[in-house]
Amino acid sequence: QQQVKQSPQSLIVQKGGISIINCAYENTAFDYFPWYQQFPGKGPALLIAIRPDVSEKKEGRFTISFNKSAKQFSLHIMDSQPGDSATYFCAASGAGNMLTFGGGTRLMVKP
């Protein structure tokens, strides 16, 4: 079954803290795992993506950790800022690049 489960549904973090969002997938044919950020009234924007041949990828304050055996991956946002307040989606795809999205996490960073 092509499903991606995301948690938590909502998250409140203090400014400067670490935001952690987790995702789990079932389809072992998935080989591309992006994270998207979406602000109200906007389309999703790619933040960072990873392939299963590496266990971690870091871009600025954003890090993806990937556990292939557990079929889980997570997004860490270091030094979270109020401007990071948005909805975050994990996604996965295999051949053909047809994305299956998680349900989303609404992040609020308090000043």
Partner 1 sequence: ETGVTQSPTHLIKTRGQQVTLRCSSQSGHNTVSWYQQALGQGPQFIFQYYREEENGRGNFPPRFSGLQFPNYSSELNVNALELDDSALYLCASSLDDTQYFGPGTRLTVL
Q: Which residues bind partner 1 (CB under 8 A)?
A: 6, 32, 34, 36, 41-46, 49, 89, 91, 93, 96-104
Please, which residues have CB within 8 angstroms of residue 64's CB and are 6 or more apart in sequence?
A: 33, 35, 48, 49, 50, 56, 57, 58, 73, 74, 75, 76
Q: Which residue's CB is nearer to partner 1, number 99 or number 108?
A: 99
Q: Which of 34, 23, 21, 30 is nearest to 1 (CA)?
A: 30
CB of 32 to partner 1, least distance (A): 5
Alpha-carbon distance of 70 to 23, in angstroms, equals 11
Q: Which residue's CB is nearer to partner 1, number 80 or number 104?
A: 104
CB of 77 to partner 1, least distance (A): 18
Q: Which residue's CB is nearer to partner 1, number 64 or number 102?
A: 102
CB of 102 to partner 1, least distance (A): 6
User: H or E element: which one contains 57?
Assistant: strand 56-59
